[in-house]
C-alpha cells in the first residue's frame, strides 16, 4: 500500500509539472520601446526603455546599443522598472552623437523561452542644440525636449535568424521532453490505476504479469527519454541565451539555473 501511495504521489508530481509554464505557447515579445522602432528623435536619450508582453527574467535578458559602425555603446547594468515588472531599462551614461543606432534585445520570461530582436532609431543631426547648454533667447518658444518624430524607417522587432525558443532544434527538444513526460505518466498510470483495479477480475496471472512488464517497460522507456530530453533542454536553453547575449561569457549555467524562474523549475523537475 505504501509503495502504491508513493507511486501515486510521483504521478501527481509529474502531472503538476505539466502545469508549469514550461510549455506556454505565448512567448514574450516587445510591446513598445522608447526610443522605439523607426523613431527619429531630437534629444539624446539617457535611457532605453523596453516593455514586453510579460515580465522578463533579469538574469536571462540583455540589451545592446550599437552605432552605425557596429561599435557597442556602453550601457549600465540592466534594471527592472520600479513601476512595471515588464519594463527593462538600460541607462546610457554618455551623450550619444547624431546618427543611426540599433537596439538589440533578448528576453526570457518565467517560462524560460528566450526571444531576441532588434530595431533602429535615428538621433537627428540637430541634436546638439537640444542637449547642449541652454542659451537665453528672447524669441525661444519651443521646449528643450522636442517631441519624437516618426520616420518611415523599416522596423524589425523580432529576428527569425539565430537560435531561440522558435528555432527548430529548440522546439524539437521541448517536444521530445513533453512526449517523454507523457509516456512516463501513461506507464505509471496504467500500472497502478488500470492493472490495480482489474487485479481481482477474471484474468490469468500470465496476462497480468505480461501487462505489468509492458507497463513498466513503457514507463522506463519514457523515463530514459525524459532524462535525455531534460539534459538536452538545459543545454539548448543555455545555447539560446548565449547566442544572443551581450556578454556570452557572463551567461553561465549557474547564473541561468540559480538566478531565474526557469532554472528553479528545471531543478524542481530534476528533483521529482
Identify the sign of the CA torsion 61, 67, 71, 76. negative
Q: What is the pLDDT of residue 250?
A: 60
Looking at the predicted structure, is the pLDDT value of residue 185 above 70? yes
183 alpha-carbon distance from chain centroid: 27
Q: What is the pLDDT of residue 118?
A: 92
Query: Mind listing the pLDDT tens digit for each residue in 19-62?
Result: 444 444 456 789 999 999 999 999 999 999 999 999 998 888 89
Rg of the chain over Cα atoms, rounded to whole angstroms, equals: 26
Q: What are the sequence ranges of the domains in the chain?
A: 2-24+165-271, 30-150
**How many angstroms separate the first and last alpha carbons of the chain?**
21
Q: What percent of the chain has pLDDT over 90?
A: 30
Looking at the predicted structure, is the pLDDT value of residue 17 above 70? no
The mean pLDDT of 229-255, rounded to a whole number, is 76
Between the CA of residue 231 and those of 39, 91, 238, 266, 269, what are the distances in Å? Answer: 43, 36, 11, 10, 11
Task: Provide the 10 A C-beta neighbour count for residue 216.
Answer: 14
Asked if 31 and 53 touch (Cβ cutoff 8 Å), the reply is: yes
Calculate the average pLDDT of the chain: 76
Domain 30-150 has what CATH class? mainly beta
Helix/strand/coil (H/E/C) assignment for every residue in 130-183: HHCCCCCCCCCCCCCCCCCEECCCCCCCCCCCCCCCCCHHHHHHHHHHHHHHHH
Band (pLDDT 50/70/90 cuts) for residue 192 is: confident
Q: Residue ranges of the alpha helices (H) in the chain?
A: 2-18, 127-131, 168-189, 195-197, 205-243, 253-258, 261-271
Q: What is the pTM of this model?
A: 0.61
The mean pLDDT of 96-112, rounded to a whole number, is 90
What is the CA angle 46-47-52, rounded to 5?
165
Query: Mind listing the pLDDT tens digit for each residue in 115-148?
Result: 889 999 999 987 654 444 333 333 333 333 344 4
The mean pLDDT of 172-197, rounded to a whole number, is 85
The mean pLDDT of 189-204, rounded to a whole number, is 71
Q: What is the pLDDT of residue 162?
A: 60
Amino acid at each position: 500500500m505504501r509503495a502504491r501511495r508513493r507511486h501515486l504521489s510521483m504521478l501527481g508530481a509529474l502531472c503538476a509539472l505539466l502545469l508549469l509554464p514550461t510549455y506556454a505557447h505565448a512567448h514574450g515579445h516587445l510591446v513598445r520601446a522608447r526610443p522605439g522602432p523607426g523613431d527619429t528623435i531630437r534629444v539624446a536619450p539617457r535611457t532605453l526603455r523596453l516593455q514586453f508582453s510579460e515580465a522578463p527574467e533579469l538574469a536571462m535578458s540583455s540589451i545592446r546599443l550599437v552605432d552605425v559602425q557596429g561599435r557597442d555603446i556602453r550601457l549600465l547594468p540592466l534594471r527592472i522598472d520600479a513601476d512595471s515588472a515588464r519594463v527593462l531599462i538600460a541607462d546610457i551614461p554618455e551623450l550619444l552623437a547624431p546618427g543611426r543606432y540599433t537596439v538589440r534585445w533578448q528576453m526570457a520570461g518565467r517560462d524560460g523561452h528566450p526571444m531576441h530582436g532588434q530595431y533602429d532609431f535615428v538621433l537627428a543631426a540637430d541634436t546638439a542644440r537640444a542637449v547642449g547648454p541652454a542659451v537665453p533667447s528672447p524669441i525661444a518658444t519651443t521646449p528643450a525636449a522636442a517631441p519624437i518624430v516618426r520616420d518611415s524607417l523599416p522596423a524589425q522587432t523580432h529576428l527569425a535568424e539565430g537560435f531561440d525558443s522558435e528555432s527548430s532544434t529548440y522546439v524539437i527538444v521541448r517536444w521530445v521532453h513533453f512526449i517523454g513526460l507523457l509516456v512516463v505518466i501513461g506507464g505509471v498510470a496504467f500500472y497502478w490505476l488500470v492493472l490495480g483495479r482489474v487485479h481481482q477480475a477474471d484474468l490469468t496471472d500470465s496476462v497480468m504479469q505480461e501487462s505489468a512488464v509492458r507497463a513498466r517497460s513503457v514507463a522506463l522507456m519514457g523515463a530514459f527519454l525524459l532524462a535525455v530530453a531534460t539534459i538536452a533542454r538545459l543545454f539548448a536553453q543555455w545555447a539560446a541565451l548565449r547566442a544572443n547575449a551581450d556578454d556570452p561569457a557572463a551567461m553561465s549555467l549557474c547564473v541561468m539555473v540559480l538566478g531565474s524562474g526557469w532554472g528553479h523549475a528545471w531543478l524542481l523537475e530534476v528533483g521529482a
